[in-house]
Amino acid sequence: SAVISQKPSRDICQRGTSLTIQCQVDSQVTMMFWYRQQPGQSLTLIATANQGSEATYESGFVIDKFPISRPNLTFSTLTVSNMSPEDSSIYLCSVDPGDPNQETQYFGPGTRLLVL
């Protein structure tokens, strides 16, 4: 498994501003993922962030709105840009430690974002 931390744990932001969320892992991992969980909803994958390559975005998500950095094997950031109230969600990062044939993701505690 892996121990994952996220900062901030929660924030209240004004519309039009941007927030950068950090994800830190206690071990080196190749695959990191960012998810969004809208109020009362399930999780939706935003993008896959692998070190050494550009993030891969899912349908409905674009780099200009959700830029991602992956500078090394233990850290990633997700920025929510030009926020609107519709961006109010929980944002979670997850990692796949890469154990052969395990295909298992472990999740951070999430960042709870409220946009006013």
Q: Which residues contact other proteins (rule: CB under 8 A)?
A: 31, 33, 41-45, 48, 92, 94, 96, 101-110, 112
One-letter amino acid at 1 equals S
Dig out the tokens for 2 from the structure: 């892996």
Residue 24 exposure: Cα atoms within 13 Å on the Cβ side: 7
Pick between residue 58 and residue 81 the one whose CB is nearest to other proteins.
58
Closest approach of other proteins to the CB of residue 16, in Å: 27
Pick between residue 68 and residue 92 the one whose CB is nearest to other proteins.
92
| Whether the Cβ atoms of residue 97 and residue 2 lie closer than 8 Å to each other | yes
Closest approach of other proteins to the CB of residue 19, in Å: 18
Rounded to an integer, what distance in angstroms lies between the CA atom of residue 111 and that of residue 79? 12
Closest CA to 106 of 22, 38, 49, 25: 25
Closest approach of other proteins to the CB of residue 18, in Å: 23
| Whether the Cβ atoms of residue 6 and residue 93 lie closer than 8 Å to each other | yes
Pick between residue 35 and residue 87 the one whose CB is nearest to other proteins.
35
Pick between residue 32 and residue 115 the one whose CB is nearest to other proteins.
32
Closest approach of other proteins to the CB of residue 42, in Å: 5
